[in-house]
Structure 1
């Protein structure tokens, strides 16, 4: 919803937004940069943390009830853990933060697209790591936080390609940084 402010501040600049779910996709599309959720460590790519948003395990109410019955330590072994574009990196980081061995069920599922992954959690397909991006779903209790243990170093990173950035992309990146600063001042 904030993109209107970008265009008002930058008349004459056109943007093309591509859905990119992984750093490997940067080789197959012509973009100046990507914004990806993760914990960093995109080998061979320069990246910058744009927005820090610690992530916690989440589920719908029915799966949350199963977690309560099993206990969280057992639930993350038995129930499907839904991975993101980083595969299991986020889940490995969460298990380390929780002091638990990483030993998920074989029915784990990776869903790189965030919209599809949140819908899978809403539909009860498993447990996923989420942050305040899904605050409306937390607020209306469509999704439930299963633990206060967070992946602290999670967030949204700008991943740079090896191509020079266009003036429009530089303007957009500066605008993203300013929007983030504005949001942090309000928090």
Structure 2
């Protein structure tokens, strides 16, 4: 085992021990931190979590939520969250992951760019457009092209923008095309975005991932979070 891996394991063990000790010290005194730190993107936080905060507080007044913005890949030791709400299919082998809600993914563009794509055809247009990814190594575009029967060479230049707010704004500004989903519905409703195809990656969604250090927090498992 490499020293860095051993150090990460020791750090995780130390943090878990400290958390458990805190709970044992506070419990006899009738005290509890009763806090949950969800990690999620700012885009999902403002469009999905924010409208639900009051309802959660009314249902669970003893629990204090401390949302933490997350961009890029989820590192359970670095990010120090109790539950991370991530986009994709929930592929993780190192911690429990359960579906939160379905969020089929499909490409969207600005109305002007969507009009050009409609006029020239998807294969020709996507070959000239900048395709936006949410992370390095994302396969969403390749999967969608296969879904609609377009060759991989139909994809144009690629640009990775991990920040979802910036990525969506880049699409609205007509600078690229991105694979999106349910959180961008307001942009479709007000005409700033246009869906390019009814074809979607139907198995995409939002998935909470609970890191080992938070497995002992009973508030993380409350139904309806």
For the Cα contact (< 8 Å) 1:87–1:110, is it kept in 2? no
* Alpha-carbon distance in structure 2 between the residues aligned to 1:110 and 1:26: 22
Q: For each residue in 1:146-182, what CA deviation from the matched residue of structure 2 results, as whole angstroms up to 9, or x when unmatched?
A: 11111111111112212224233223xx223xxxxxx
Alpha-carbon distance change, 43 to 167 in structure 1, aligned in 2, over 3 angstroms:
closer
| 1:86 positional shift | 6.7
Alpha-carbon distance change, 125 to 15 in structure 1, aligned in 2, over 3 angstroms:
same
Alpha-carbon distance change, 62 to 43 in structure 1, aligned in 2, over 3 angstroms:
farther
Alpha-carbon distance change, 21 to 111 in structure 1, aligned in 2, over 3 angstroms:
same
For the Cα contact (< 8 Å) 2:72–2:163, is it kept in 1? no
Q: Are 1:170 and 2:221 counterparts?
A: yes
Alignment match, 1:16: 66
Q: Quick check: 36-45 or 26-35, which moved more?
A: 36-45
Larger Rg: 2
TM-score normalised by L of structure 2:
0.70
| 1:89 positional shift | 2.0
Gaps of 5+ in 2: 1-50
Alignment size in residue pairs: 173
Alignment match, 2:210: 160
Gaps of 5+ in 1: 177-187
Alignment match, 1:77: 127
- RMSD across aligned C-alpha pairs, in angstroms? 1.9
TM-score normalised by L of structure 1:
0.83
Q: 2:89 aligns with which of 36, 39, 50?
A: 39
| 1:29 positional shift | 1.4
Relative contact order, higher structure (CA 8 A, sep 6+): 1
For the Cα contact (< 8 Å) 1:23–1:42, is it kept in 2? no
